[in-house]
Amino acid sequence: MKPLLTCFFLLLFTSTVCRAAPPNILWFIVDDMSANFSCYGEKLIQTPHVDRLAREGTRFSRAFVTAPVCSPCRSALITGMYQTTIGAHHHRSGRGTEKIHLPTGVLPVPVLFQQAGYFTCIGSGLPGARRAGKQGKADAGGGLGKTDYNFEWDAKMYDANDWAGRKPGQPFFMQVQLAGGKLRGGTDDSAKQLLARAEKEFGGATDPEKVTLPPYYPRDEVLLHDWAAYLDAVRFTDKHVGEVLARLEQEGILDQTLVIFMTDHGISHARGKQFLYDEGTHVPLVVRGPGIAKGKVRDDLVEHIDLAAISLAAAGQPLPPAMQARDVFAKTYQPRDAVFAARDRCDETVERIRSVRTDRFLYIRNFHPQRPHLQPNAYKDGKDIVDMLRFLDAAGMLDPKMEKILFSPTRPPEELYEWTTDRWQVKNLAADPAHKATLETLRARLDRWMVETKDRGPESEKMYDSDMAAYLGKGNPDVEKNIALMKKWAADGK
């Protein structure tokens, strides 16, 4: 009897310890990609591995980033804070002599995981693969995956670029960084090359003629090639996800790992990346792992910064008092009634846009309405799709509605869209008397959020000059010309 009781209590103790063991945390963070996955309704391609995550976990239909460009988005993600609160809201800022330091009490998530005993890593998720998830050998020196944080941080907050080096039984926090939409490049030739690669690896490429474009883009050959290559970039991303999941299964740790799949903003296009419409801010978000409901679809509004709170809570760690992210799986969680986003300077191009979104309306405020939607920007203007749009506009070959949306020399100070029925946000209701009450309510709501979250607002001239110093004298006359134009417009009050 005594040996039986001993075995019983030993088994009970063992099972209790197993249940109490913290899960591994793995994030898939993908560049430049909207929710063009078959589990989100994309019909032209199949994405079986992200679909599997959705089938075995919870898919969020209304997930949005708080910044539609890489570095502010990632700065917010890794701290669980609005980028406007921590002063990291200008793209590629703090790179010159003037630096950005996190406010007191704000720590990057990897630091918090290290303090909790986790092994922290960031890379491709596949030994021997490049950290960006592209073809080729691993980067020399075992470099870390993409970070792109605008504030000062210590590289020691990452132990390695892969979890293979952890101690036996040690949980890990892994960020798998994938190139996503960047795989298609920025030229028509590079898009065609990716289509050829898809033909070879998948046995078929996406047919450009079958692509459905947003209504404000013309069915031009360059744009169709680009969008088709983008969809094949989604397929390559999905393939990589499948390979990482297979590795987790082979190591016997998939079911002990919280897996989160998300992109850092929408597709890079004329009205996508860098802008606050759905094309730029709506992203896929799928969560699978211990305690996560299977096959569930949630339609409440969530922000990408919530990954920080979700992950820390899953690891049994308390959330820092200042953290603005929310654990959307908490039993006491009350769904948000609104989410917010901000666009500020991108490279040399000065901008300031804010938005608030409810379950029905999207309100956008343009702080520089006298400037065009597509301000001069060397990064965007270097893409063949934008170059073609500018050519078609100059030649008078764009539909008047397209011309107005993309190339109007000015913008309205306020925009209001019923985004649930106006999928691409093309009908501005801000001047409609029938929506005056909604406009006033959301205007006040945005004002309140900016005050409550201590929005840092415009960049100082000193900081701008510091960051622009990295661009000057590098043989790029377009950038230098744009910097001069930004200064002139600012002096003119434009």
pLDDT given for residue 131 in this prediction: 54
54 Cβ contact list (under 8 Å, min separation 6): 39, 286, 295, 297
Q: Over the stretch 429-444, which tens digit does the pLDDT of each residue have?
A: 999 999 999 999 999 9
pLDDT given for residue 445 in this prediction: 98
Q: How many beta carbons lie within 10 A of that of residue 182, not counting itself?
A: 19
The yes-or-no verdict on residue 186 having pLDDT over 60 is yes
Give the Cα separation of 387 and 380 in Å (integer).
8
Q: Which of 211, 335, 355, 222 is nearest to 278 (CA)?
A: 355
Confidence of residue 475 (pLDDT cuts 50, 70, 90): confident
E-strand stretches of 65-171? 119-123
Task: Give the pLDDT mean for 147-160.
Answer: 97
Please report the sign of the dihedral spanned by the C-alpha atoms of residue 364, residue 366, residue 372, residue 378: negative
**Lowest pLDDT segment from 123-132, 233-242, 290-299, 466-475:** 123-132
Give the Cα separation of 44 and 231 in Å (integer).
8
Q: Which of 450, 152, 448, 485 is nearest to 351 (CA)?
A: 485
Q: Over the stretch 325-367, which tens digit does the pLDDT of each residue have?
A: 999 999 999 999 999 999 999 999 999 999 999 999 999 999 9
The yes-or-no verdict on residue 408 having pLDDT over 50 is yes
Give the Cα separation of 308 and 293 in Å (integer).
19
Task: Give the pLDDT mean for 423-432.
Answer: 98
Confidence of residue 78 (pLDDT cuts 50, 70, 90): very high
Q: 260 phi and psi, to 5 degrees?
A: -125, 130
Are 370 and 354 in contact by the 8 Å Cβ rule? The answer is no
The yes-or-no verdict on residue 5 having pLDDT over 80 is no
Are 126 and 138 in contact by the 8 Å Cβ rule? The answer is no
Please report the sign of the dihedral spanned by the C-alpha atoms of residue 362, residue 420, residue 328, residue 92: negative
pLDDT given for residue 129 in this prediction: 77
Model-wide pTM > 0.85: yes
Q: What is the mean pLDDT of the chain?
A: 94
Q: CATH second-level architecture of 22-336?
A: 3-Layer(aba) Sandwich (3.40)
Q: Over the stretch 33-76, which tens digit does the pLDDT of each residue have?
A: 999 999 999 999 999 999 999 999 999 999 999 999 999 999 99
